Chains A and B, each alone.
Chain A
Amino acid sequence: MAHWAVIDQPINPPPPPPPNDVEARSWRLYALHAIITGCLIVLVAKLFYIQIYRHDHYRALAAKEHWRREIVPAVRGALRDRAGQPLVMDVPFESVYANAAQITDPARVAAALAPVIGEPAAAIEEKLRARSPAPTLLKRQVPADIADRIRSLRLWDISLRPEPSRGHPEGDLAAAVLGVVGADRKGLSGIELAFDRELAGQPGSVVAERDTGGDEIAFGPRESEAPVNGADVVLTIDRFIQHIAERELAGAMERHQAAGGTIVVLDPRTGAVLAIASRPTFRFDDPNLFAATSVSRFRIPAIQDLYEPGSTFKVITMGAALDAQAVTPDTTFQNQGSLSYGGGIVRNAVWRPPGPETMTQTLQRSSNIGAAFAATKLGSERFYQYVMSFGFGRPAGIDLPGEAAGLLRVPGGPDWYPFDLAVNAFGQGISVTPLQLAAAVAAVANGGTLMKPYVVREVIGPAERRTYSPTIVRQVIRADTARTLTQMLVATVETVDGGQVRLSRLPGYRLAGKTGTAEIPTRQGYTTQATIASFVGFGPADSPRFVILVKIDEPKDTPWGETVAAPIFRTLARELMLYYRVPPQTEPPM
């Protein structure tokens, strides 16, 4: 400004602007040039080092960072009942992930998500603030409607990934048989475990260049492999029969304050399992399902838990004795109140005055002495041959994991004594699984042919379809023996020794069956405090459609198979007759 102020004073003409004197110090300009040139040389050298000399190193780092494999989960196969109704199927849940490193406002994102996914905002914000460059899991497996609400929030850097879960349309029906699946989608118990490979399918994958959030880079190359979905497994279990079995079991548990129980329903003609119900069991929606203490709940007691069958085993003893023609239904012996055999004394559970007793009466009265008499007439060698032939002492061979063999001591074994023959005859000193006994009685119902029990009917995969047909194990007793034994069991169901009408009797239908009241062995010997009340039977007696085994553990109000298990058998039999539309065949004799 100073230069122009003097314009008003013509005496002093404006001084020329200071001339460019830079050239006078041109070395300074050269120095500046030199510094810049030096910097340029350093930078070009550094670029050469990074871009050319270390190219392979950084290209490898880039590849490691960009190329990632994403697993495309296969749909796990469904489990269906014999009619094809789904019992377990995959539900398309999605899991919520955050690309936390990119989120600039964690508090806002957390506040928006918190009410939708039902987690405290502070907890979400804490996860986001970790700013992990890897995807951060915020909530596992939210259902589709929640996922849609999250999408509608349009939150940047929040992503959803399909992580299907197992859904149970029938609730906890047959939970133990169906089994559970772990967080890694591997079957842990039941059918889910036994058929894990078939159900799982083959997960696919997409290998591609991805951004930091895991999304594919659109123009990058990719290799993808489509998933092969898992096969559906069709069970022999009937949804309706399973339901009434569980209903009756639950009712009995409550009525009798029982510790546990099992109901098995088989189709005697094929060995197909129509229902397996057990208590105690677990709930699929139990939040503590996988707590360490609850693992034992995944057992399938019907095939894994042993018990002493008690009087229900007399069916086997009688079948063996009849088939070997050691006795006939009318063979009579003199009951003297006790029987000495092999160094021990057999007594009846309920004392009865001495007198003659036929084999039919033995079953009707559930006479221990009669059963021991039949067994001793048969002899230990043949008795144990028949017992093993009926399938005891080894797994029944069902297609479920972890089946027990039972405990059967045989002559020649280290801890078998002759007296064992007399007590084994009425189901003491021998341990079986409910399924083993049901299958053995089914052999009686099936004209003496033992069928291998099975629970999977069909495996329907995307490529192949595998059908399991009924398998004959062996002919255990002759068909006429089976018919004779059935008549004796029908008489047993109807009355107590031709007099008092039994609770198992179902007017209009001929049912066959036998009760059992077994004392539970403990370390101190047999205890009368706790019993297992059971009933095994089948119907209709002339062309059997079902075998039912009912076993109630430690009923508190009344200990007897007759009072606890027989009414359940009758209720189930009536429901099954209606379900199978079997018309009543006999007039009530009253």
Chain B
Amino acid sequence: MSEQYRPPDYLLLVAVLALVILGLDMVYSASFVIAHNSPLYRSDTYFLTRQLGWAALGTVALLVTLRIDYHWWQRWSVPLVIVVLLMLVAVVVTNLGHAAYGAQRWLRLGPLPPVQPSEFAKLALILYYADWLSRRRGRLGDFTQGAFPFGITLAVVSALLMLQPDMGSTLVIVMTAFAVVFIAGAPIRHLLLGVVVGLAGMGVLALTAGYRLRRILTFLSPDVDPQGGGWHVLQASIALGSGGVFGLGLGASRQKFYYLPSAHTDAIFAVIGEELGFIGAVATLALVALIAYRGYRIVVHAPDTVGALIATGITSWLTFQALLNVAVITATVPFTGIPFPFVSFGGSSLVPSMASVGILLNISRHRKAFQPERNRFRGAEPRPVVEYP
């Protein structure tokens, strides 16, 4: 049995742990002012201790999922998706939902800390699509068998997320789903149709909500209203820009003194840029690039399609979310709130992310079941060697 397993991809693990540790440091740096001053928190380390707890819980989750054979998730992907969909519905329609900053994204269940179901939805949906697509291999060319039902499920989830509303998570989920179905082999014409439908949907959404249109107009002309709509973006740019090459030094951010909204959550990359400079910001992006590189390497070396698709989904999710966050902070795209994976404060983001890394690492432990092309080249028979539990 043991010879069929390899050690997990330690380089990926190192990259993830480096981001988690960077996150702990930056969360403390970015939050201690608010935590110290506010009568709600009354302690410098309010956010740090909580993030430490989430990191511990995330580590446990990672170690557990690392040990669960990833095929086990196939059995549970449908129930998981149903649970997540129910949670998403509950957030929007029941009084269990908990609003903050003008959007209803949190679910409060008894004494537990409130959770953001959208973060769990990303993982559940990846597992579901990977299972679904791997079983429909060869039938994806048929529009009614592949693209259509796929598009319907994705539209339902997107609609639930946009009811909160949560544009950032919707974008990440849609882009991740496209990456999975693209790698799964969907016809390009179906994908292009999906892109057209998606862009049309975004256009409708942008025009129907005043604040989204304002965000786009602010993005196009950021200097019009620096005290109002342009505030977030301008303050993030000031944070990055004043960091320069080497940054102001750890802990020395000035923008975290209430200038930069959500400094310890969605805007934490701006604090990284301010305190650690261009070098620190690029190093952080390099860790993201390393995760992407190792993640897609696992895709190639996965023993079967479902493993490859799960790996594609998880890697794409984490990478896209990080890139979208940085794109927002650098004013490369219009503003939307999205946490930086592993770094931003919050258990709803950190724990599912670390759990999914465990799944990714579990896939990396499996040897490839068989290598038909290479063996065929050598003239040998394909020979399955893996025993499945």
Contact = CB atoms under 8 A, between A and B. Distances in A.
Interface stretch (A60-68, A223-231, A413-421, A552-560): A60-68
Given A19-B370, A40-B289, A47-B330, A32 B307 contact: no
B185 interface: yes
Given A22-B299, A47-B282, A209-B254, A62 B242 contact: yes
Contact of A32 (B273, B296, B332, B372): B296
Contact of B242 (A42, A55, A102): A55
Interface in A1-55: 1-2, 16-26, 28-29, 31-33, 36, 39-40, 42-44, 46-48, 50-52, 54-55
Interface residues on A, range: 35 or more
Interface string A189-225: 0000000000000000000011111000101100000
Nearest to B183: A28
Contact of B296 (A29, A58, A99, A132): A29
Given A20-B305, A20-B369, A220 B254 contact: yes
Contact of A57 (B75, B179, B241, B259): B241
Interface stretch (B46-54, B147-155, B201-209, B319-327): B319-327
Contacts of B299: 22, 29
A133 interface: yes
A161 interface: no
Contacts of B231: 133
B240 A32 contact: no
A217 B238 contact: no
Nearest to A133: B227
A212 B372 contact: no
Contacts of B252: 219
Contacts of B238: 58, 61-62, 65
Contact of B305 (A21, A26, A54, A212): A21
Given A18-B305, A19-B304, A133-B227, A52 B244 contact: yes
Residue of B71, B258, B304, B312 contacting most chain A CB atoms (<10 Å):
B258
A59 interface: yes
B305 A22 contact: yes
Given A18-B305, A51-B243, A39 B323 contact: yes
A19 B289 contact: no
B158 interface: no
Contact of B304 (A17, A46, A50): A17
A62 B300 contact: no
A523 interface: no
B185 A51 contact: no
Contacts of B368: 20
B377 interface: no
A2 B38 CA distance: 55
Nearest to B368: A20
A213 B373 contact: no
A122 to B, nearest CB: 23
A154 interface: yes
Contacts of A20: 300, 302-305, 307-308, 368-369
Contacts of B388: 17
A290 interface: no
B327 A39 contact: yes
B73 interface: no
B182 interface: yes
Q: How large is the interface on B (under 10, 10 to 19, 20 to 34, 35 or more residues)?
A: 35 or more
Q: Which of B33, B227, B254, B282 neighbours the largest number of chain A CB atoms within 10 Å of its CB?
A: B254
B285 interface: yes
A355 B38 CA distance: 96
Contacts of B24: none
Given A20-B304, A58-B242, A212-B259, A36 B319 contact: yes
Contacts of B243: 51
Contact of A28 (B185, B237, B370): B185
A19 B255 CA distance: 52
A92 B384 CA distance: 88
A16 B237 contact: no
A138 to B, nearest CB: 19
A134 to B, nearest CB: 9
B306 interface: yes
A156 interface: yes
B302 to A, nearest CB: 5
A219 B241 CA distance: 20
A2 B135 CA distance: 10
Nearest to B279: A51
Interface string B191-223: 000000000000000000000000000000000
A50 B241 contact: yes
A212 B319 contact: no
Contacts of B369: 16-17, 19-20
B332 A42 contact: yes
Interface in B225-268: 227, 231, 234, 237-245, 252, 254-255, 257-259
Nearest to B326: A43
Contacts of B384: 16
A272 to B, nearest CB: 56
B39 interface: yes
- Chain B CB within 10 Å, residue with most, of A20, A22, A24: A20
A282 to B, nearest CB: 42
A500 B152 CA distance: 120
Contacts of B331: 46
A54 B38 CA distance: 34
Contacts of A36: 289, 292, 319, 323
A55 B245 CA distance: 9
B281 interface: yes
Given A20-B369, A29-B300, A55 B241 contact: yes
Interface in A118-154: 132-133, 154
Contacts of A61: 234, 238, 241-242
B257 A211 contact: yes
Given A18-B304, A51-B244, A156 B38 contact: yes
Most chain-B Cβ atoms within 10 A of its Cβ — which of A31, A33, A43?
Answer: A43
A101 to B, nearest CB: 8
Given A43-B323, A102-B258, A55 B244 contact: yes
Contacts of B146: none
B305 A47 contact: no
Contacts of A62: 238-239, 241-242, 254-255
Nearest to A49: B330
A512 to B, nearest CB: 73
A22 B237 CA distance: 40
Nearest to A23: B300
Nearest to B251: A219
Interface in B365-384: 368-370, 372-373, 384
B278 A17 contact: no
Contacts of A66: 254, 257, 259
A365 B233 CA distance: 92
23 contacts: A17-B306, A19-B305, A20-B304, A20-B305, A20-B369, A22-B299, A22-B305, A32-B316, A33-B292, A36-B292, A47-B278, A47-B285, A50-B240, A50-B273, A51-B241, A52-B244, A52-B245, A58-B238, A58-B241, A62-B238, A62-B241, A65-B259, A156-B37
Shortest Cβ-Cβ A-B pairs, 3 listed: A58-B241, A211-B257, A62-B242
Interface of A: 1-2, 16-26, 28-29, 31-33, 36, 39-40, 42-44, 46-48, 50-52, 54-55, 57-59, 61-62, 65-66, 99, 102, 132-133, 154, 156, 209-213, 217, 219-220
Interface of B: 33, 37-40, 71, 74-75, 134-135, 137, 179, 182-183, 185, 227, 231, 234, 237-245, 252, 254-255, 257-259, 273, 277-278, 281-282, 285, 288-289, 292, 296, 299-300, 302-308, 312, 316, 319, 323, 326-327, 330-332, 368-370, 372-373, 384, 388
Given A32-B183, A58-B238, A65-B259, 13 more contacts: A17-B305, A17-B369, A18-B135, A19-B305, A28-B185, A50-B273, A50-B330, A51-B241, A51-B243, A51-B281, A59-B244, A99-B258, A212-B258
